[in-house]
Amino acid sequence: MTPPRRSRVLALVAATALAVPLAGCGAEDTKGSDQTLTVYAAASLTGTFTELGQQFEATHPGVTVSFSFGGSSDLVSQIQGGAPADVFASADLKNMDKLSADQGSTPVAFASNTLEIVTPPDNPGKVDSLDDLADQDLAIAVCAPEVPCGSAAATVAAAAGITLAPDTEEQSVKDVLAKVSSGEADAGLVYVTDARAAGAGVNGITFPESASAVNVYPITTLKDSKNPDLAAAFMAFVSSTEGQAVFAAAGFAPAP
Amino acid sequence: MSRPRSTGLPRWVYVPAGLGAAFVLLPLVAIVLKVDWANFGSLITSESSRDALSLSLRTSTASTVLCVLIGVPMATVLARTTFPGQAVARSLVLLPLVLPPVVGGLALLYTFGRRGLLGHTLEVLDLQIAFSTIAVVLAQTFVALPFLVVSLEGSLRTAGDQYERVAATLGAGPTTVFRRVTLPLVLPGLLAGAVLSFARAMGEFGATITFAGSLQGVTRTLPLEIYLQRESDPDAAVALALVLVVFAVVVITIARPDRTTR
């Protein structure tokens, strides 16, 4: 092996390595029979929608479901900015209502969620009811009133007749969960589904006042969709018996 | 156009340079165009905005002071001494520059958090750092410190140590040399570094939201307020963003090295 030949071999390897993914891209674009359904869904639906996507792909050969998960308000902004979405599932009605009638079909509610108290597994603050979240001496994490989980927290506090004593008002329910599971906060308010997804990382405590703030998840197909039939089929699948079983397993309640 | 040819700058350089300038300036123009000028005054003077701005100014000042207090000795040791592992030490000091701020926030959490490395010690001392303004200052200091150390170490190396040696031969003790010769010599570099640290602290977001939380008047600095307002009141977010941009431009202009070192 002389050095020049070795470098030629390397060049060949490099060229092949570069060409293979490029060829892959080209092949995907040219396959006419395959369809891709693009679903924009609220971040809290990541687990359930990923599973639904896999089930949908299994029953619809040739269909690929690709997801974009994010905050509902961000997703709405992107859709209004012309993002190529076929289906949109929001974490609340408020963000769904931002889409006008010429942008989406009539939304259908498919699941709901309520709040739950979470504490670190050993519950150092000995929290057992919503009243404890008014305790100034405990480190309490809730969502900021500007975001949906925060307005829900304010609603349940009002229903219970208490004033929450938050030490931090976080941007999202995942941030609240992180503050609690790391032990920084003694208690926090998150959705039932988030508490369940966190498993043994947190200790969940349900409370009766949670019924005063039921968060409803609506879904719609978008008018600009290039696959309207497929979009409608996916939307129907979400509300079907199989679809609803996935939500129930994740801790969601049925739509009211 | 009438520049002497001796500068020797190839003409084509202006093309990528101009594109680069447009790349930086266009987003700023876009922000300015988005501002709701009719309500600009009321948007940036709302109670939450004023709280955020005031908190940002206070915490950034505190963290800049901390950066100077610990950064000057660090830069001096790095520039004026040799010790084993110095190259590694220098890289580690720079780490917060390349570390995503969120990771910095997590690292601080695992150190100063209630269940962190020093959590028990802090509890014994009855120091509650979680969700306090101190946590904001720690986060800002962590990310801003490298700016001060890097620019000061550069100044120290450029200045050289000949004056310090002369002072020492004339009988000045090490502390006198440091105070009367070294520091005055690198003062412009120190000021530039301090201003950059201040600017970095003002813009700090990721480490703060991860480590300190977000509560109006306590931990919710201007960048966190912008991020939150974006959810409910995008106009307020844009107005506050412009305040931060104007602030950053002013600070960077003050700190421009050619203004301060020549």
Structural domains of chain B sorted by starting position, each given as residue range(s) with its CATH number in brackets: 38-261 (1.10.3720.10)
Q: Letter for the amino acid at A170?
A: E
Q: Which of B118, B211, B228 should one mutate to test binding to chain A, selecting the residue with the greatest count of A CBs within 10 A?
A: B228
**CA-to-CA dists, residue A79 to A64, A69, A107, angstroms:** 20, 13, 15
pLDDT per residue as tens digits for the range B32-50: 998 989 999 998 899 999 9
- Which band of pLDDT confidence, cut at 50, 70 and 90, is reported for residue A92? confident
pLDDT at B145: 96
B231–A contact, CB cutoff 8 A: yes
pLDDT at B260: 44
pLDDT greater than 60 at residue A9: no
- Which band of pLDDT confidence, cut at 50, 70 and 90, is reported for residue B254? confident
Hey, are the CB atoms on A171 and B228 less than 8 Å from each other?
A: yes
pLDDT greater than 60 at residue A241: yes
A80–B contact, CB cutoff 8 A: no
pLDDT at A1: 41
CATH code for the domain defined by A115-212: 3.40.190.10
Q: Supply the ipTM of this predicted assembly.
A: 0.77
Q: Which residues contact A235 (CB under 8 A, 6 or more apart)?
A: A87, A105, A108, A219, A220, A221
Segments in chain A forming alpha helices (H): 3-30, 46-59, 72-80, 93-96, 148-160, 173-181, 192-198, 228-239, 241-249
A73, A166, A184 member nearest B113 (Cβ) = A184
Hey, are the CB atoms on B131 and A168 less than 8 Å from each other?
A: yes
Hey, are the CB atoms on B113 and A182 less than 8 Å from each other?
A: yes
A171–B contact, CB cutoff 8 A: yes
CATH code for the domain defined by A31-112+217-249: 3.40.190.10
Which whole number is the average pLDDT over B107-112? 92
Mean pLDDT comparison of A28-37, A114-123, B174-183, highest-scoring range = A114-123
B228–A contact, CB cutoff 8 A: yes
Q: Which residues contact B251 (CB under 8 A, 6 or more apart)?
A: B195, B196, B198, B199, B202
Quote the CA–CA distance of A185 and B219 in Å, as a whole number. Answer: 15
Q: Which residues contact B27 (CB under 8 A, 6 or more apart)?
A: none
B114, B215, B231 member nearest A146 (Cβ) = B231
Lowest-confidence pick of A21-35, A125-139, B123-137, B234-248: A21-35
**Minimal CA separation from A181 to chain B, in Å:** 11
CA B54, distance to chain mean position in Å, is: 17
Hey, are the CB atoms on B115 and A183 less than 8 Å from each other?
A: yes
pLDDT per residue as tens digits for the range B131-166: 899 999 999 999 999 999 999 999 999 988 888 889
Kindly report the backbone phi and psi dihedral angles of residue B9, in degrees, each rounded to the nearest multiple of 5, phi listed first.
Answer: -85, 125
B209–A contact, CB cutoff 8 A: yes
3-state SS class at B9: coil
Closest CA to A48 of A86, A91, A84: A91
Calculate the average pLDDT of chain B: 89
Kindly report the backbone phi and psi dihedral angles of residue A39, in degrees, each rounded to the nearest multiple of 5, phi listed first.
Answer: -115, 125
Calculate the average pLDDT of chain A: 86
Hey, are the CB atoms on A139 and B113 less than 8 Å from each other?
A: no
C-beta atoms surrounding B231 within 10 Å: 20
| Residue appearing with tokens 């800002």 | B140
Quote the CA–CA distance of A89 and A99 in Å, as a whole number. Answer: 12
pLDDT at A71: 81
pLDDT greater than 80 at residue B206: yes
- Which band of pLDDT confidence, cut at 50, 70 and 90, is reported for residue A13? very low
Contact criterion met (CB below 8 Å) for A117 and A173:
no
A139, A144, A170 member nearest B130 (Cβ) = A139
C-beta atoms surrounding B99 within 10 Å: 18
- Which band of pLDDT confidence, cut at 50, 70 and 90, is reported for residue B262? very low
Quote the CA–CA distance of A224 and A227 in Å, as a whole number. Answer: 9
In chain A, domain spans: 31-112+217-249, 115-212
pLDDT at B2: 53
pLDDT per residue as tens digits for the range B187-196: 999 999 999 9
**A residues 11-70 lying closer than 8 A (beta carbon) to B:** none
